[in-house]
Amino acid sequence: MSTPRTAIAPGTGQFTEQVQISGHIIDSLILPKVLDIITASGGNFRLERITIGQARQDPSFAVIEVSAPTAELLDEILAQISDHGAIPTAQQDCQLVTADMDGAFPEGFYSSTNQRTEIRLGGEWIEVEDQEMDCGVMVAPPAHRARCVPMTEVNSGTQWVVGHAGVRVFPTERTNERQGFEFMSSGVSTEKPKGVAIRQIAQELFQNRRSGKQSLLVGGPAIVHTGSVEHVARLIRGGYINKLFAGNALATHDIEQALFGTSLGVHLDRGDVVEAGHEHHLRAINRIRRAGGIRQAVAEGILKSGIMYECIQGNVDFLLAGSIRDDGPLPEVVTDVLEAQRLMREKSRGISFCLMIATALHSIAVGNLLPAWVKVVCVDINPSTVIKLSDRGSIQTVGLVTDVEPFLRALVQELELLDRGAT
Amino acid sequence: MTAEPRQFADDVPGELFDPHDPRPQILMCPPDHYGVEYEINPWMKRDQPPDHALAVRQWTDLRQVLSDAGAKILLQKPVRGLPDLVFTANAAMIYRREAMLARFRFSERQGEEQYDAQWLLASGFHVHRLPNDVYFEGAGDALFCGDTLFAGYRIRSDVRGLQQIGELFRCRVIALELVDPYYYHLDTCFCPLAPGMAVYFPEAFDQYGRDVLKELVPELIPIAEAEARRFACNAVVVGRTVVTNTGCPSLHRKLTELGFTPRETPLDEFTKAGGSAKCLTLRLDGEEAAKWKSA
């Protein structure tokens, strides 16, 4: 190994290399031996991942980051530990195994992250397409292409990456994004100056529209309950939202309001409960079902305002994903969750900005699908929704703990200011 | 790892492996072309060649001792220019009807691989190979004791190959680093006698290896250096009979105490090449200590 090393861990003055080791490395004491060799030689290690085999015959697996103060020493250590099976993950081709059944990965499959990833095939690094966390990486060898595919879509006979060898991940450099997205630097907080944050979100949406990129809104019914329908309608009319993901509830209450002026029976203008208003959302669903769908209801002049109306009018692609507690549902609701997930995956490709408002369920579902480089802003009155998203690995998520209506009102105002400035 | 296409060679001599024969079956290769023609371990000295006639006699005696112990001896055809083909232990590692073919570290022995593959295929084994750059020297470096495969690495076999064998055969593989060039194969310093019982030469392993063996083999019998040098650990176990080179009296006493029948037969002409009783044999139906054999 004589290639000059450039892998220096930022700020540490250390040269680093990631190695992987597998086998019965615990029972045979090979893992402790390798770690002892590293430290005895003057290097350091960090166990990045370790998977212990469950049954006696199951191999264990460890990914170790080895570091040393000089490149020469690092090379020396790597040469020593390679004799014991600890091989740099970057210096080998990825290992492929053929799927032996439909709907399940081969054992030992590489589980993807949402970070940009490359795999090594025939000595060449290839970028993994459709980057998504918690998937497998399928390889089509003749075309030399690799992409993330979920478990349910595995077909017997296809080729899958197993282990960590020949796989490298490029974590998103948050610091590079600071200028455009400065409030990212702090986590979820109720104490943030929201004005600044909202202004930056407005700038993101504005820039995205200007450069022809796609923005996605993932929304919950609280948008309607809090009286924010008109704000969202204005965002759609302004061309700031290109896609909408929601559930049956958002669409139902939006249509209920359009048809009856209430949301869950509460009159949104006056705040009082309407007589038999609790039936309104069911009557709304029923009317749309009688029309054959939201699109038909708009065409027939039954539905004349609201978020769903604006989506139809503005040609905004929407996906309504069903859940177990749905009333109706509306005809457009996709009730097969796997199909809904598949559509969500398909429609989220190419999204570069995502605004998640007041929905834990749909936000987490979408957060799981998006690659790490897509900017995500999660707005919720409940901090736990935002924290849940971050905990699930959607590290690109910026949280804003605030009531939905004032947020959307301010966002629309900021966008109008930007619009006026631009013209 | 790829499976070798099955092919039957016409020129494989003699009897082949019979999975229905209840007797222990051992592959040996007559020493017609045996000699020390190169030096790939510290035992080999080209200027101290073995006495060929004596080597033939010693090999014939070993064969007889093993036959007397109840083994059926099968023969591989010797090949001119492959002096170490006589050490059949290195041909492959056997697990049930599967054979993991050797990939020799030294080019001097790589010529043996095709003949080993031919014989094993003709005998009905499913023959596997490791990738070309992964060295593995057969039963010389891979011995079952109970349900665990103990495997030597670093001097001849690569640890990477051992992991792959574990995955293929779904068994626990305990890789043991060999640290003394005189004990370059695991079968020169470790010999399983029965599940949970083995003899070993501690100094051939590092501290990690010794600790592992003590932990995983309940009855572990150390051999002193003088007898280790006589290849005491390179023993062939057939039923309760244990066959070694001469000059291992302490081991033989211990074996008698344990209820084994030790037998010795001179093999000095083969120790000149770094091999002894075990190296000259390949057990085809599973070693006595392999749990899968009785399972």
Name the residue among A29, A59, A87 with its Cβ closest to that of B212. A29
Mean pLDDT value across residues B63-86: 96
pLDDT in tens, A88-133: 887 788 889 899 999 999 988 999 988 889 998 888 889 999 999 9
Taking alpha carbons only, the member of B129, B133, B106, B107 closest to residue B116 is: B129
Residues of B in Cβ contact (< 8 Å) with A83: 154, 159
Q: Considering only residues A143 and B113, tell me which one the structure prediction assigns the higher pLDDT.
A: B113
pLDDT value at A47 more than 90: yes
Query: Is A28's CB within 8 Å of B174's CB?
Result: yes
Cβ contacts from A onto B, under 8 A? 53
Q: Is B216 on the interface with A (CB under 8 A)?
A: yes
A177, pLDDT greater than 90: no
Do A287 and A391 fall within a single domain?
A: yes
A29 Cβ under 8 Å from any chain B Cβ:
yes
pLDDT at A184 (0 to 100): 45
pLDDT score, position B177: 97
Q: What residues of B are in contact with residue A27 (Cβ under 8 Å)?
A: 172, 174, 212, 216
Which residues from chain B sit within 8 angstroms of residue A23, using beta carbons?
Answer: 159, 162-163, 166, 173, 175
B-chain residues within 8 Å CB-CB of A57?
147, 166, 170-172
The reply to whether B166 touches chain A by the CB within 8 Å rule is yes
**Which of A28, A31, A87 is best to mutate for the B interface (most B CBs within 10 A)?**
A28
**Average predicted confidence (pLDDT) for chain A:** 87
For the stretch B177-222, pLDDT in tens is 999 999 999 999 999 999 999 999 999 999 999 999 999 999 999 9
Decide if A84 and B160 are in contact by the 8 Å CB cutoff: no
Lowest mean pLDDT among A355-364, B208-217, B235-244, B246-255: A355-364
Contact A405, A224 (CB under 8 A): no
| Rounded Cα–Cα distance for residues B96 and A293 (Å) | 64
pLDDT band with cut points at 50, 70 and 90 for residue A13: low
Collect all residues with Cβ–Cβ distance below 8 Å to B39 and sequence separation of at least 6.
B45, B46
Which candidate from B170, B172, B206 shows the least CB-CB separation from A27? B172
Is A103 within 8 Å of chain B by CB? no
Are A119 and A36 in a shared domain?
Answer: no
Model confidence pLDDT, tens digit, residues B98-131: 999 999 999 999 999 999 999 999 999 999 988 7
Q: What is the DSSP letter of B65?
A: H
Task: Assign A1 a pLDDT band (cuts: 50, 70, 90).
Answer: very low
Q: Alpha carbon of A146 to those of A91, A158, A168: distances in Å?
A: 18, 11, 13
Beta partners for residue A46, in sequence order: A65
Domain boundary among A104, A138, A171: A171
- Complex ipTM value: 0.90
Cα separation of A123 and A215, whole Å?
Answer: 37
Are B166 and A56 a contacting pair at CB < 8 A? Answer: no
CATH of the domain at A27: 3.30.70.2690
Per CB-CB distance under 8 Å, the chain A contacts of B172 are: 24, 27, 56-57
Q: Residue B163 and residue A23: Cβ atoms within 8 Å? A: yes
Instruction: Work out the pLDDT band at A262, boundaries 50, 70, 90.
Output: confident
Q: Exactly one of B145, B233, B248, B279 is catalytic; which is it?
A: B279
CATH of the domain at A396: 3.40.50.10690
CA atoms within 13 A on the CB side of B72: 15
Residue A327: how many other CB atoms lie within 10 Å: 13
Cβ pair A84:B177 closer than 8 A? yes
pLDDT band at A423 (very low <50, low <70, confident <90, very high): low
Of A266, A255, A258, give the one whose Cα is nearest residue A225.
Answer: A266
Of A24, A33, A83, the CB nearest to B208: A33
> In this structure, are A293 and A415 located in the same domain?
yes
Closest CA in chain A for residue B154: A83
Cβ contacts of residue B200 below 8 Å, gap of 6+? B189, B190, B191, B213, B217, B220, B221, B222, B223, B233
* Closest CB from A30, A57, A87 relative to B175: A30
Question: Is A57 in CB contact (< 8 Å) with chain B?
Answer: yes
pLDDT tens-digit map of A202-212: 999 999 999 99
Supply the DSSP string of A310-354, one letter for each residue: HHHHHT-EEEEE--TT-SS--TT-B--HHHHHHHHHHHHTTEEEE
Q: Is A258 left (phi over 0), alpha (psi -120 to 50) or beta?
A: alpha
Number of folded domains in chain A? Answer: 3
Q: Of A77, A69, A72, which is closest to residue A34 (Cα–Cα)?
A: A77
Mean pLDDT, range A373-393, rounded to an integer: 81
Domains and CATH numbers, chain B: 2-14+22-294 (3.75.10.10)
Whether residues A66 and A157 fall in one domain: no
Predicted confidence band of residue A183 (pLDDT cuts 50, 70, 90): very low
Per-residue model confidence (pLDDT) at position A59: 87
**Mutation target among B154, B172, B210 for the A interface, most CBs of A within 10 A:** B172
Contact B175 A24 (CB under 8 A): yes
For residues A329-347, give the mean pLDDT: 96
Q: Is the pLDDT of residue A8 over 90?
A: no
pLDDT-based confidence at residue A172 (cuts at 50, 70, 90): low
Q: Which of B154, B162, B206 sits opposite A23 (nearest CB)?
A: B162
State whether A198 and A333 are in the same domain.
yes
Report whether pLDDT(A220) > 50: yes
Is B279 considered catalytic here? Answer: yes
**Is A83 an 8 Å CB contact of chain B?**
yes
Q: How near does any CA of chain B get to the CA of A24, in Å?
A: 6
Q: What is the mean pLDDT of chain B?
A: 93
C-beta separation of A316 from A242 below 8 A: yes
Same domain for A211 and A285: yes
pLDDT the model gives residue A193:
65
Question: For residue A377, is pLDDT > 50?
Answer: yes
Of B167, B170, B174, the CB nearest to A27: B174
Look at residue A179 in the predicted model and tell me its pLDDT. Answer: 40
Strands A145-149 and A136-140: antiparallel
Strands A136-140 and A116-121: unpaired
Question: Could you tell me the pLDDT band of residue A54, with boundaries at 50, 70 and 90?
Answer: confident
Confidence of residue B1 (pLDDT cuts 50, 70, 90): very low
Supply the range of the domain harboring residue A365: 174-422
User: Cβ contact (<8 Å) for B172 and A57?
Assistant: yes
Q: Do A127 and A238 belong together in one domain?
A: no
Predicted confidence band at B34 (pLDDT cuts at 50, 70, 90)? very high
In this prediction, residues A365-379 reach a mean pLDDT of: 89
What is the model's pTM? Answer: 0.62
Residue A49 has pLDDT above 90, yes or no: no
pLDDT at A192: 60
Q: Which of A37, A67, A88 is the last residue of a domain?
A: A88
Distance of CA B130 to the CA centre of its chain: 18
Q: Does residue A409 share a domain with residue A340? A: yes
The yes-or-no verdict on residue A300 having pLDDT over 50 is yes
The one catalytic residue among B128, B145, B185, B233: B185
- Whole-number pLDDT of residue B10: 43
Same structural domain for residues A185 and A165? no
Give the CATH number of the domain where residue A153 resides: 2.40.420.10
Chain A neighbors of B159, CB-CB under 8 A: 23, 30, 83-85
* Shared-domain flag, residues A405 and A277: yes
Say whether A32 and B159 touch across the interface (CB within 8 A). Answer: no
Instruction: Give yes or no: residues A155 and A178 share one domain.
Output: no
SS3 A67: strand
Q: Does B176 reach chain A within 8 Å, measured CB to CB?
A: yes
Angstroms from B93 CA to nearest CA on chain A: 18
B154 contact residues in A (CB cutoff 8 A): 83-84
Helix, strand, or coil here: A301?
A: coil
The answer to whether the beta carbons of residues B227 and B242 sit under 8 Å apart is no
User: Distance, in angstroms, between A7 CA and closest chain B CA?
Assistant: 25
Q: Give the start-end residues of each E strand in chain B.
A: 2-3, 25-28, 72-75, 92-95, 98-101, 126-129, 142-145, 148-153, 172-177, 190-194, 197-200, 219-222, 236-238, 241-244, 261-264, 282-283
- The answer to whether A57 contacts B208, with C-beta atoms less than 8 Å apart, is no
Where a domain ends, among A171, A194, A212? A171
Of A22, A27, A56, the CB nearest to B163: A22
Does the beta carbon of A87 lie under 8 angstroms from any beta carbon of chain B? yes
Strand, coil or helix: what is B58?
A: helix
DSSP H or E segment with residue A87: strand A87-88
Place of tokens 């998520």: A397
- Work out the minimum CA distance from A135 to partner chain B, whole angstroms: 23
* One domain, residues A116 and A155: yes
Contact B212 A27 (CB under 8 A): yes
For A96, which residue in chain B has the nearest alpha carbon?
Answer: B1
Percent of chain A beyond pLDDT 70? Answer: 89
- B75 lies within 8 A of chain A by CB: no
- What confidence score (pLDDT) does residue B227 get? 97
What does A1-23 look like in DSSP terms, one character per residue?
--SPP--EETTTTEEEEEEEEEE
Q: Do B173 and A30 touch (CB under 8 A)?
A: no
